[in-house]
Structure 1
Amino acid sequence: MTCQPKPVPLRVKFLHPVWEEFPLEPATQGSAGIDLRAAMDVPAVDIPPGGRHAFGTGLAIEIAEPGLAGFVYSRSGLGAKHGLTVAQGVGVIDPDYRGEIVVWLLNTSETHKTVARGERIAQLLVMPYRQAAIQAADELGDTSRGAGGFGHTGSV
């Protein structure tokens, strides 16, 4: 038996009738995220290889606990099996944003992909964040890595 953390209050405004057809809930009891769906008025959208498309989710949210934000991640199966990933890597839903959550999908495959109305396209996780307190500095502390960048440590 796993110990689940206490759920976070998440106020949701439903903006599209697709949510009358599908529940907004985790897929399983142990799911970390909540599936977001393509809320559109057409039956399907085609995304060509290398193409991107913005999908409204028909949802706006309010996270009722300070220090938390929404993060939109790719659905692992959609990305691994079909090549459809969240275009910017991870989408950040700032805690003060009240507009519709929009997910940009990128087709990384070599074939056209179709996304159907109501299809699960991404997942929303509510996670802690810490805001940075910017401090200008003339120098930064030394480390063993220093300014070594891409590939600096080798591949094996």
Structure 2
Amino acid sequence: MTDTWVPPEGSWASSEARRRNMQAIRSRDTKPELRIRQLVHAGGLRYRVAARPLPGLRRTADMVFRPTKVAVFVDGCYWHGCPEHYVSPRTNPGYWSEKVARNVARDRDTDKILTGEGWLVLRFWEHEPSDVCADKIAAAVLARRSGHPNV
């Protein structure tokens, strides 16, 4: 047996420690997401968590308000290419930059599909103040309830 770590075939991991670190990153229920959900719920609004807005669309929104057709996404700065905070990694930069670019393209495609079906898509960066995000979500949902679908 050797002490040298060998990544599994086709792996993106540059080391065993990096692999463990990346596998531990949450895809849902992040701290910013939980805080926004808590504030929106405290405001009396109810929603679905990590749900597909459209049954045939294999993509989930962080919060879904089906009756008013509002889909909310809380995007991580690294994974979704935040213009303020994204920094290409020093290790394996080609792979990660391409992955983030694919994520951004998928986000735009999701926005286009949902908007085409009459949904309002709200996207927030993880670094945005949770209370501001929650207020915008509540305002949009309440406006749509009152008959203003383009809000």
TM-score by length of 1: 0.25
Structure (1/2) with the larger strand percentage: 1
Larger RCO, structures 1/2 (Cα 8 Å, 6+ apart): 1
Larger Rg: 1
Q: Which has the higher helix share?
A: 2
Q: What TM-score, normalized to structure 2?
A: 0.25
